[in-house]
Structure 1
Amino acid sequence: MPPQLYYPLQNFAASKKHCFLTGKPLTSSEEHVHVFPQWLMTKYNLEDKPFKLLDDSFSTYKQLMLPCSAAANEQYVEPLEREIKAAFAAGYDAVVKLDELKLFQWIGKWLFGVIFNELHAARTQQHAEGEEFSVSQSILQRFTNLHVMLQSLNLPVIFEDFKPFSLFIFKVDNEQGDFNYRDEISTVTYSLRINDFGIVICLQDNGVISRYQDEVYQNIKHQKLHPIQFEEFSARVFYSAYLFNRLPNYDIMPVGDDVYIEATSLRGDSMKPIFDEWQTKTYGQVLESFWKKWNILLFEIIKDPDRPMSFLFDDEGGFRAEVALPK
């Protein structure tokens, strides 16, 4: 019998009474996993910190849960958590040796967990106000695709000659105790800066952002970055994901005991470039958000519209090995 994929977001049938990974009914309300891994929350003292949802309501990090059967947790989720935890504790040199697919699965579970809780909160609120629940179809499609790919954790899923994500990992000179995380749900983009490294990933672009930002990445990927430099590159990736104007589609084909996923052409029938035009002011606004810690304002960033402020590169385009922060 071919593997049976679970589609919890079709008609938003996602239930807290079924395992998020396998779809099997749960036997107890105690069967769940944290969206933010317990080891990460403990290390960075996150459990009781507020987490703002898209509807402007607040939860806490520890209250964000995914329904997960004890069997799926023991067999699939927990072994992945142990491997990621060990690599993250060891630092950059261990993280870059991780299987990229495992990082994709780990981050994918995290972002799927966030959207799962966001959608449940939105549905509860809309029903309380007597409104019919509705959500962007593009969001549902992106996360349905992500969830199918996340099932590579528990099913023999084969990606047919493509990688669904763009992943960047850097060594970063972080301060001890730094925990800097952000995501953009609409573009399924994520960054995390902790220990001595930083990760940026777009989970649903079929690797095109890697190619779009390849020249920049090749110039800096072996450098040790200052946090402000990492945030600058992260801003470039998040803005690139915003400019990416395709919604990837996939052919999903059970064949024998395996599930093959094949990416359809991003070009389709459109002659339009895959990325919209880069706008300096809009990029500057994104960068201002990423540089908020350093109080750098938009007018400073785009004072010269042809050459926005950069801590990554000097005026000749060379990497800035020394960073002089604004006073």
Structure 2
Amino acid sequence: MPAKIYSPFEKFNFSNKQCFLSGLALNSEEEKIQVFPQWLMSLYGLEDQPFKLLDETIATYKDLKIPCSATINEEYLEPLEKEVAAAFAAGYEGVMALDELKIYQWAGKLLYGIIFNEIQSGIRLMHSQGEEFNISQSIIHKFSHLHMMLQSINLPLHFEGFKPFSLFLFKVDNNEKEFGYRDEINTQTFALRIKDFGLVICLQDNRANSLYHREVFEKIKGDRLHPIQFEEFSARVFYSNYLFNRLPEYNILPVGEEIYIEAMPLRGMSSKPLFDDWVNKTYGQVLENFWKNWGFLLLEIIKNPEHPMSFLFAKDGEKIIAVTIELPR
């Protein structure tokens, strides 16, 4: 029997009675898994740390859970977690050796878990006010495609000749106790800086950001970065993914028991560039947020509006070596 893709956004089903990934009916509403895996929370003491949702309510990391079938968890998600945990424990070299698709699935599952909690929180809030929960069609488009891609975890679903994501991985001279995490759910951008590495991933851009930042990435990808350098590169990617102006479309091709996903050309019918114009003042605002640990303000960052402050490259375009940067890690 051919595999069938589960589409929760068709009927907008975000109850705790069905598995978030497969749609299978659950035995109990308590059949759930943590959004942030226990091994990661234990490593950084995150369980009782505050996590702010978009509606301004505060949860803790351990409060964030998603309904999940015990079978799906045991057969697919736990083995993925175990593999990722082992790779992360080995640091940069371990993550470098990990299949990129596994990193994508792991990061995508985590971000989708946050999306699921945000939607549930939004539904509760609107119902308490006697109103229907509304969400834009473009956001539904993005979230439903991410969910479809995640089913490569539990279904024979294959990406035909493309990668749905851009992934950037670096060696970083981190403070070993620091948990550096950041996400932007509307653009589906995710960054994690722990151990001796940092990674940034755009979960649904069909590699557009990889191509956009290729020149800079090629120059620095083998270097050991200072955390402020990694945060600068992350700011560039988060901003460019905000400028990315396409909603990727896909063809779904069932072949026997397998499902193949084929990406439609991003250019489509539009002659418009894939990315809107880069504006240094706006980028400076993003960078100010990413550099909060070091206290740099927007006025300093864009003192020269044509050349915002950088710890990656000097004014002559030469790379700045991490060990020459005299800032706390």
Normalised by the size of structure 1, how large is the TM-score?
A: 0.98
What's the CA shift for 1:174? 0.2
The 5-angstrom pairing of residues 87-106 of structure 1 reads: 87-106=87-106
- Distance in structure 2 (CA, Å) of the matches to 1:272 and 1:77: 40
What's the CA shift for 1:114? 0.2
AA partner of residue 324 (structure 1): E
The 5-angstrom pairing of residues 121-136 of structure 1 reads: 121-136=121-136
Indicate the residue corresponding to 2:61 in structure 1: 61
- Distance in structure 2 (CA, Å) of the matches to 1:15 and 1:130: 18
What's the CA shift for 1:141? 1.2
Indicate the residue corresponding to 2:108 in structure 1: 108
AA partner of residue 101 (structure 1): L
Give the match's secondary structure for 2:190.
Answer: strand
- Distance in structure 2 (CA, Å) of the matches to 1:14 and 1:57: 19
What's the CA shift for 1:56? 0.6
Indicate the residue corresponding to 1:305 in structure 2: 305
The 5-angstrom pairing of residues 138-157 of structure 1 reads: 138-157=138-157
AA partner of residue 281 (structure 1): K
- Distance in structure 2 (CA, Å) of the matches to 1:247 and 1:237: 17
Give the match's secondary structure for 2:271.
Answer: coil
Residues 34-88 of structure 1: CA distance to partner in whole angstroms, max 9, x if unpaired?
Answer: 0000110111111111111101111111011111111111100000000000111
- Distance in structure 2 (CA, Å) of the matches to 1:138 and 1:97: 35
Indicate the residue corresponding to 1:324 in structure 2: 326
Q: Is the 8 A contact 1:231 1:291 kept in 2?
A: yes
AA partner of residue 153 (structure 1): I
Q: Is the 8 A contact 2:14 2:119 kept in 1?
A: no
- Distance in structure 2 (CA, Å) of the matches to 1:244 and 1:11: 28
Indicate the residue corresponding to 2:188 in structure 1: 188
Indicate the residue corresponding to 1:179 in structure 2: 179
- Distance in structure 1 (CA, Å) of the matches to 2:21 and 2:184: 22
What's the CA shift for 1:324? 3.0
The 5-angstrom pairing of residues 202-221 of structure 1 reads: 202-221=202-221
What's the CA shift for 1:325? 3.3
Give the match's secondary structure for 1:152.
Answer: coil
Residues 182-231 of structure 1: CA distance to partner in whole angstroms, max 9, x if unpaired?
Answer: 10011000000000000100000000100000000000000000000000
Are 2:266 and 1:274 aligned?
Answer: no
What's the CA shift for 1:15? 2.2
Long gaps (5+) in structure 2: none
Between the two proteins, what is the percent identity of the paired residues?
Answer: 61
What's the CA shift for 1:11? 3.5
* 315-324 or 235-244, which deviates more: 315-324
Root-mean-square deviation over aligned CA pairs: 1.0
Indicate the residue corresponding to 2:261 in structure 1: 261
Q: Is the 8 A contact 1:32 1:66 kept in 2?
A: yes
The 5-angstrom pairing of residues 214-253 of structure 1 reads: 214-253=214-253
Give the match's secondary structure for 1:171.
Answer: strand
- Distance in structure 1 (CA, Å) of the matches to 2:113 and 2:170: 25
AA partner of residue 326 (structure 2): A
The 5-angstrom pairing of residues 3-42 of structure 1 reads: 3-42=3-42
Q: Is the 8 A contact 1:8 1:15 kept in 2?
A: no
Q: Is the 8 A contact 1:19 1:25 kept in 2?
A: yes
What's the CA shift for 1:151? 0.5
- Distance in structure 1 (CA, Å) of the matches to 2:71 and 2:5: 17
Give the match's secondary structure for 2:133.
Answer: coil
Query: Number of paired residues?
Result: 326
Indicate the residue corresponding to 1:283 in structure 2: 283
- Distance in structure 2 (CA, Å) of the matches to 1:119 and 1:128: 14
What's the CA shift for 1:13? 1.4
Normalised by the size of structure 2, how large is the TM-score?
A: 0.97
Are 2:79 and 1:79 aligned?
Answer: yes
Residues 293-314 of structure 1: CA distance to partner in whole angstroms, max 9, x if unpaired?
Answer: 1000001001011111000111
Moved over 4 A (4+): none
What's the CA shift for 1:265? 1.4
Long gaps (5+) in structure 1: none
- Distance in structure 2 (CA, Å) of the matches to 1:197 and 1:136: 35
- Distance in structure 2 (CA, Å) of the matches to 1:310 and 1:324: 14
Q: Is the 8 A contact 1:280 1:308 kept in 2?
A: yes
- Distance in structure 2 (CA, Å) of the matches to 1:13 and 1:193: 33
